[in-house]
Structure 1
Amino acid sequence: MRSKVSIIEDMLDEDQKTALQSYTLLSSPLKSNLADTLTTLPTHESASEDLPILPDGTCSHPYLIPNLNKTSCILAQRIDIGKHYILTGGFSASKENYLTAVGRLISFGRYVFDIDEPVVSELFKGKKFRDAAKNTCPSDKQILDPFQFNIIIQLPGQTVAQHIDGVYFQSSDRFDIPQWLLASMKFSGIWDDFFIPQVQVVAYFHKWKWSEERGGEFAYWLPNENGDVGSATLVKPLSGWGSTVDGSRVVHAANTYYPKREPPLIDKSKDIELRYEEELKMWTVYEDGVRTIFEYDNEELRQTLVFRARCFESEEAKEKFKDRSNRLSLDDVISRLTIDLKSKGYNIPSSRLDLCILIMKVYIKYPYPSSIIPVNYCAAEKLLKQKGVDLKDFFDFIGCGVKGEGGKGRLDVIDFRGLFSSAFGNYWHTITSGINVLKSVKYSEILSDFKRDPVSVFERVKGVFIWGAVLTGVTVVKLMLFTGKVKTKKGGKKKKE
């Protein structure tokens, strides 16, 4: 069943855009997308992967955030999205440190399941939505069940990572189990007979005129006849325009909004809000109730309305879905996926957290960037530190600790003169740390993965080898500096002796 995407030039008129902007102002403060469970707390907030929270209320693991009660650390509801972005750099293949990457992903908004809100009720009833929805829903499932709308606000420097939307099955949805697990279920194909298609409209109610400088294009990847994901199609976020798609089947994202500006640097462990300050006429980011330096004019915001409806084959099927008496249990889902992993030849980790990460790694297949180096090597500093390997000096050396254009790591900002005096010490630190990294690599798992899916493994590791070649060259330069094979003239130029 091939998916469809439709573009509607005049989805929102001027009055509707004005009403949505007023609604957004009145909705202040807007919570971050990490606080999704405040709207829909599932029966199981986690998959029992909890780790103890630190005394200061934070979580040291890069994939974990505090749970709703601040009593333990759990995987974020959509860690599948964040994990893929941090490791790959997303659609634009950014090379940036962990803190910057997190800041790009934490948008703000409201997630509303009351479709009778006047600001959107007429949109759900309107002919534009009905016609677009029927074009997107399968031909044998034309009964619509509107159920949700979201107001999404992105700040300059932020992006929407590659993802599928919250998945609905006949016996399991976001009110039951974590959303990353629902995404894993969808990609696994095991529960396809119980999958419920949906249609979403992505419409823009900001009033500014689009430009290359702003960016922020909507991107989607339609699978081909073989089910493989091809290249991305881009749609400009023009004011009033809308796109319709089944976001639970089609991988989609957005280019970075104002890509040359830095995102707000946000602590994932804190309570984050975007507040409208009437006296200043500005939107400001707050952390745990404390005002930060990140403030924005209304015209700087990328403002999106997303509204959704499920697709059913009959009114009876729609009513049957509302009967929540026969739900899949969390243990049933984990057990079924574990059995499938074993049948594929995977070793099952003893740690529940490691099992959850393995489930996402095996099943969820978001596209890799089309970059020569499709990995965000700058994020490795944080991930390696979690394993007890401290390479901060090394990553600062290759530019990951420096804010270049767009917050990207840059090899052209290296201070070779400053490195001269400590070249040998840095070199020895790199060698010893590198040995520790090599010792931590699970080569048997990589080999097993390669036997199962060589193309996927090649896409994951080809950038690492290219990166390794670059770093080897950099290390050689450091040694040449140390041994005097290269001398630095005034102006920074180098010549051979």
Structure 2
Amino acid sequence: MHSKISIIEDMLDEDQKTALQAYTLASSPLKSNLADTATTKPTHESALEDMPILEDGTCSHPYLIPNINKTSCILAQRIDIGKHYIMTGGFSAVKENYATAVGRLMSFGRYVFSIDEPVISDLFKSKKFRDAARDTCPADRQVLDPFQFNIIIQVPGQTVAQHIDGVYFEGADRFDVPQWLLAAMKFSGLWDDYFIPQVQVVAYFHTWTWSPDRGGEFAYWLPDGSPATLVQPLSGYGSTVDGSRVVHAANTYFPNRKPPAVDKSKDVELRYSDSTKTWTVYEDGTPTDFTYPTPELRQTLVFRARCFPSEAALENFKNRSNRIPLTSILSRLTYDLRSRGYTIPDSRLDLCILIMKVYIKYPYPSSLIPLNYCALQKLLLEKGWDLTPYFDIIGCGVDAQPSRISVIDFGGLFRSAFGNYMHTIIEGLSVFKAFKFEEFKEELKDSIGLAQKLKGVVVWGGVLIAGTTIKLLMFSGRVKRKKA
């Protein structure tokens, strides 16, 4: 999972940035990233994990959203991204409630699988792109196939969570099966012989000058386990990388501002008003209170090309023959899970969650507590345990400011082990399992030992209980804060 990364200072000139600004205005309304299937219309929108939709058209399960026809609830196309962010708080280790995390992730944009737009066509033909692409693509795959560009808009308070881009295989891509499943296929290594490398450019066309309070840096992780490398989102600059092999993200944009409060089960979009020269978030056709002038938007252009060994290989791919059936993909993963000693769940939804848990590995935050314990509130509520007052006291309420536990780096081993402790607990809750010791033991057996796990749970529990006790005492007036 690695690729060379390059920074191009003058990827976009002033005329290109102006053209992209005009294209963005003309593209209004911009859909949220959860509406991805409306653009790609895959053969299989789900991996057959469909659950009944509620009478009000929503989905109660934290991982599910309505399908394109609003007839059932399915896993979001990139639930692997959202699931990891909500559980960990992203690489900034934010501790915040589920609803706030969802709004933070639902950026806006337009996804276009064509290069006919003049400004985009010119960029793909430019020497700057061609040179960077040949440097990024493997030496034996120098035939480029430009195929996609995206306009990505983030409003203040939003982020791009850790992820790899939509993966392409010979026989399977986002037009065939869910994208979270493609990510699992890539991480598993079982289809490496069919993998198609790609090059993407992430470039910025906003008009503002970057400052540290804005945040929004591009971040990427090398495979050696080192902390993230941050790249400032300077207007006109571009980063080239194979995003399907390198885990990357964006730091929260204006991290001290709240993201839009939106519902994952509703149609959310960003609309431009020519009369007020502002952008407003809409939910099911109704305007919300979240309105922004254009200079407050983080505006990103992403454009991609696939890397092929020959023109013949490119033509063979475009013929879209010999597709890999969804059932074959799931069968191969299930067989591999059994060979690793996992028990295969009866529920297809639980199987999908297990596939993501075992194969998809995004980095944990380098913080003292690398899990977002505030997300437990939503998962416990789904089990019928309303502990809202408790979570409000420890700073997890809807109106609470997100907290970022100090990013002290205790080393990869500690982060991995500690993260695994809490990841296991949250996973167990998220799939609605009873708290039986044998089931909990089954959840833990694939890690570094039951005794170590239980010890880690006790340590984390002690930290949380101690912190909560102090907050409760402060709340009751028994402990006074020390004045500066």
Shorter-chain TM-score above 0.5: yes
Q: CA deviation at 1:389?
A: 2.6
- Which among 290, 295, 303 is matched to residue 291 of structure 2? 295
2:255 corresponds to 1:262: no
2:370 corresponds to 1:377: no
Amino acid at match of 2:446: D
**Partners of 1:173 and 1:182 within 8 A in 2:** yes
Amino acid at match of 1:449: D
**TM-score, normalising length from structure 1?**
0.87
Q: Which residue of 2 aligns with 1:470?
A: 463
**Partners of 1:215 and 1:257 within 8 A in 2:** yes
Q: Which residue of 1 aligns with 2:277?
A: 281
Amino acid at match of 2:263: D
Q: CA deviation at 1:222?
A: 1.7
Q: Hey, which bits of structure 1, 4+ residues long, moved more than 6 A?
A: 478-482
Distance 1:409 1:369, change over 3 A: closer
- Which among 297, 305, 308 is matched to residue 309 of structure 1? 305
2:76 corresponds to 1:81: no
Distance 1:133 1:465, change over 3 A: farther
Q: CA deviation at 1:478?
A: 8.4
Q: Which residue of 2 aligns with 1:123?
A: 123
Distance 1:437 1:334, change over 3 A: closer
State how 1:146-295 maps to structure 2 within 5 Å. 146-224=146-224, 229-295=225-291
Instruction: Give 5+ residue unaligned stretches, structure 2.
Output: 406-428
**Length, aligned pairs only:** 455
Q: CA deviation at 1:397?
A: 1.9
Q: Which residue of 1 aligns with 2:416?
A: none
**Partners of 1:53 and 1:71 within 8 A in 2:** yes
Q: How far apart, CA to CA, are the structure 1 residues paired with 2:153 and 2:141?
A: 32
Q: Which residue of 1 aligns with 2:38?
A: 38
Q: How far apart, CA to CA, are the structure 1 residues paired with 2:258 and 2:473?
A: 35
Instruction: Give 5+ residue unaligned stretches, structure 1.
Output: 411-432
- Which among 389, 392, 395 is matched to residue 396 of structure 1? 392
Distance 1:399 1:54, change over 3 A: same
**Partners of 2:280 and 2:292 within 8 A in 1:** yes
**Partners of 1:398 and 1:409 within 8 A in 2:** no
Per-residue CA deviations over 1:68-107 (Å, capped at 9, x if unaligned) read: 0000000000000000000000010000000100011000
Distance 1:349 1:118, change over 3 A: same
Q: How far apart, CA to CA, are the structure 1 residues paired with 2:362 and 2:211?
A: 28
Q: Which residue of 2 aligns with 1:408?
A: 403
Amino acid at match of 2:173: D
**Partners of 1:23 and 1:119 within 8 A in 2:** no
Per-residue CA deviations over 1:206-230 (Å, capped at 9, x if unaligned) read: 0110001101000001213xxxx43
**Partners of 2:202 and 2:238 within 8 A in 1:** yes
Q: CA deviation at 1:324?
A: 1.5
**Partners of 1:91 and 1:369 within 8 A in 2:** yes
Amino acid at match of 1:445: E
Amino acid at match of 1:408: S
**Partners of 1:96 and 1:409 within 8 A in 2:** no
State how 1:441-480 maps to structure 2 within 5 Å. 442-451=439-448, 462=456, 465-474=458-467
Q: How far apart, CA to CA, are the structure 2 residues paired with 1:80 and 1:356?
A: 10
Per-residue CA deviations over 1:346-366 (Å, capped at 9, x if unaligned) read: 000000000000000000000
Per-residue CA deviations over 1:280-312 (Å, capped at 9, x if unaligned) read: 110000001001100000000000000000001
**Partners of 2:102 and 2:262 within 8 A in 1:** yes
Per-residue CA deviations over 1:241-278 (Å, capped at 9, x if unaligned) read: 00000000000001000011110111000011100011
Distance 1:437 1:170, change over 3 A: closer
**Partners of 2:156 and 2:254 within 8 A in 1:** yes
Q: CA deviation at 1:450?
A: 1.6
Distance 1:351 1:2, change over 3 A: closer
**Partners of 1:112 and 1:150 within 8 A in 2:** yes
Amino acid at match of 2:65: I
Q: Which residue of 2 aligns with 1:358?
A: 354
Amino acid at match of 1:375: L
Say which SS state the counterpart of residue 55 (structure 1) adopts. coil
**Partners of 1:399 and 1:409 within 8 A in 2:** no
Amino acid at match of 1:60: S
Q: How far apart, CA to CA, are the structure 2 residues paired with 1:447 and 1:34?
A: 32
Q: How far apart, CA to CA, are the structure 2 residues paired with 1:466 and 1:241?
A: 45
**Partners of 2:142 and 2:308 within 8 A in 1:** yes
Q: Which has the larger radius of gyration?
A: 1
**Partners of 2:394 and 2:468 within 8 A in 1:** no
Q: CA deviation at 1:136?
A: 0.3
**Partners of 1:34 and 1:76 within 8 A in 2:** yes
**Partners of 2:2 and 2:245 within 8 A in 1:** no
Per-residue CA deviations over 1:144-177 (Å, capped at 9, x if unaligned) read: 0000000000000000000000000001000000
**Partners of 1:206 and 1:299 within 8 A in 2:** yes
Q: How far apart, CA to CA, are the structure 2 residues paired with 1:135 and 1:437?
A: 48
Q: Which residue of 2 aligns with 1:413?
A: none
Distance 1:476 1:268, change over 3 A: closer
Q: How far apart, CA to CA, are the structure 2 residues paired with 1:304 and 1:487?
A: 48
Q: How far apart, CA to CA, are the structure 1 residues paired with 2:132 and 2:467?
A: 54
2:97 corresponds to 1:102: no
Q: How far apart, CA to CA, are the structure 2 residues paired with 1:326 and 1:437?
A: 39
Q: Which residue of 2 aligns with 1:326?
A: 322
**TM-score, normalising length from structure 2?**
0.89
Q: CA deviation at 1:28?
A: 0.3
Q: CA deviation at 1:472?
A: 2.4
**Partners of 1:32 and 1:272 within 8 A in 2:** yes
Distance 1:93 1:133, change over 3 A: same
Q: How far apart, CA to CA, are the structure 2 residues paired with 1:190 and 1:381?
A: 36
Distance 1:155 1:259, change over 3 A: same
Per-residue CA deviations over 1:357-391 (Å, capped at 9, x if unaligned) read: 00000000000000110000001110122223322
Percent identity reads: 71
CA-based RMSD of the aligned residues comes to 2.4
Amino acid at match of 2:245: R
Say which SS state the counterpart of residue 123 (structure 1) adopts. helix
Say which SS state the counterpart of residue 447 (structure 2) adopts. helix
Q: How far apart, CA to CA, are the structure 2 residues paired with 1:388 and 1:236?
A: 44
Q: How far apart, CA to CA, are the structure 1 residues paired with 2:286 and 2:83?
A: 28
Q: How far apart, CA to CA, are the structure 2 residues paired with 1:83 and 1:22?
A: 34
Amino acid at match of 2:256: K
